[in-house]
Structure 1
Amino acid sequence: MPTNEEIELKTIQPTAELSSFVESFWMITNPTDKDRQIVILPDGRIDIIFSLTDKINFKTTLRGIDTEPQQASIPANSIFFAISFNLLAIEYVLPEKVYSIVNGGVNLPSAFWDITNKDLYDFKQFTEKVSRKMLSLIKPDIDNRKQELFELIYSSNGTLSVKELSEKVFWSSRQINRYFNQTIGISLKAYCNIFRFKSSLHHIKQGKLFPELNFTDQNHFIKEVKKMSGVTPKELSKNENSKFILLSALP
């Protein structure tokens, strides 16, 4: 999905075997000679990002959960291929703990998962290669209670309360919050708020500037959107210069 100034965005969905662990694969390229300023919005995902700049500078980064908007740039002459993970991947696929990198990231070793700069020229082949690698890494004996909890958060767009989620999965609120803080780095409620905001972006992009996902009222909706994006729903919907890259990528 091209945006202005020749920035290109593409996404590919995972296979059914990986869908519990991977939300999507995505690609951003900036073939121009100018850096592109963007804002990264909280979306409830953990990312592994493989980047190549000027055809020589290759690195791999694991990025944790974002709780606030982040100013960033897409460097000139750069390619980014990435994997966005669902929460279940934290314990069963990812090599590093993410609780300590909220609003940040860490560099991963060279040739992580056997990916090199040569793999960043064919997006489809990249997704197939990392998919095979991840399938070989998935740990057995998945906790069904955690899997059900995460699926409830996603299917409800983050609108269920901690109490409702706790009752549905027969897991105490206190234990769930301890798990979230020790594993993900934020509370369950904070995560649900992030996911509800992300789910609201579809409505905001369509110009629906009123709450549709269990916000208390209009003021609460505006306050949450400003907290997550730094701007009002109206300003976010305009997305001037396509700087809110997550909004630009939505269909």
Structure 2
Amino acid sequence: MSLQGNHLEYISLKPYSSLKDLVESIWMVKNHSDQKTEGIIVPDGKIDLFLFVSENEPFEIFISGICSHPVPKPPFPKSTMFAISFYPLAAEYIFGHSFSTLQDMRQMLPTDYWGFSKEDLTDFQCFYQKACNIVSSQYSKEIDRRKKKVFELIYESKGEITVSKLALLSSWSSRQMNRYFHNWFGITLKSYLNIIRFSNSLQQLKNGHLYPELNYGDQSHFIRDVKKFSGVRPTLLSKNENDRFIQLSLMKRN
């Protein structure tokens, strides 16, 4: 997927098929504007690794855990960002450590992390190949079938499945699942389901549909969740004035 707006250039590619359970996408955003406009990133249930440089900022590599509320993005005019968006299972099967302390936070990494460098930001296609190869080299053990099944069900249902049904279909108890989510990601399974359901509602809001299309029960429930995860009501999120909400700005209208 590629998108060119007035000032944002966006490309997103799916990873190698062997990584489909661990990597959601590999993407880039280039901001060609020199305007200092702040933005907001809303929760999407992913762990993200970023390579970033701007006209007035040094090269950085950092990683962010799962977000549970909107995160302000400082204005970075004339900037380039390449990123790998991981599904949560990557915490255990790629990184090998918990991300519970990185919920709603980011961690700076060495500028040669995984062999990346500032020069990788000059060619996205080369970065894509390098990223897939590096992540593949970190992937050393088979994913537990119960964990794989749980996440498949979550994404297939767009977050509309219950914890009890997940337990039934995955043969993994609710207590064990909640312990796993708490220990590895710092959130409850129910909270994660709500994040995924909200994230799947963004496309309808981009299209100007302000009423719930997923299982929210009623309009007031939908409004509460949108306010919780974006900070504003559905009407304001849908308008997205000044491209304030980054993910919405990078999304095509259906």
Any conservation in 1 of the 2:53–2:79 contact (CA below 8 Å)?
yes
- The 1-side partners of 2:154 and 2:93 are apart by 18
Aligned counterpart, 1:189? 190
State the shift of 1:35 in Å: 2.6
Corresponding position of 2:121: 120
Distance 2:5 2:194 in 1: 28
Opposite residue 219 of structure 2, the aligned amino acid is Q
The answer for the alignment partner of 1:199 in structure 2 is 200
- Equivalent AA in structure 2 for residue 2 of structure 1: Q
| Paired letter, 1:27 | M
CA RMSD, aligned part only? Answer: 1.4
Letter in 1 for 2:237: L
Letter of the 1:13 partner, please give it: K
2:5 is the counterpart of 1:3 = yes
User: Structure 1 pair 38/55, CA: closer, same or farther in 2 (3 Å)?
Assistant: closer
- Residue 4 of structure 2 aligns to a residue whose secondary structure is coil
Q: Which secondary structure does the structure 1 equivalent of 2:60 belong to? A: strand
- Give 4+ residue runs of structure 1 displaced > 3 Å after superposition: none
Alignment gaps of 5+ in structure 1 = none
Change (3 A) 1:177 1:129: same
TM-score by length of 1: 0.95
* Of 157-166 and 67-76, the range deviating more from structure 2: 67-76
Deviation of 1:95 after TM superposition, in Å, equals 5.2
Identity of aligned residues (%): 41
> Match for residue 137 of structure 1?
138
- Is residue 2:243 matched to residue 1:242? yes
- Aligned partner of 1:161 in structure 2 is 162
Aligned to 1:214: 215
SS of the residue 1:48 aligns to: strand
Q: Which residue of 1 aligns with 2:90?
A: 89
Which residue type is aligned with residue 22 of structure 1? V
Matched, 1:48 2:60: no
**Cα deviation code 1:199-218 (max 9, x no counterpart):** 01111111111111111111
Specify the alignment match of 2:24 in structure 1: 23
Indicate the residue corresponding to 1:110 in structure 2.
Answer: 111
The residue type equivalent to 2:5 in the other structure is T
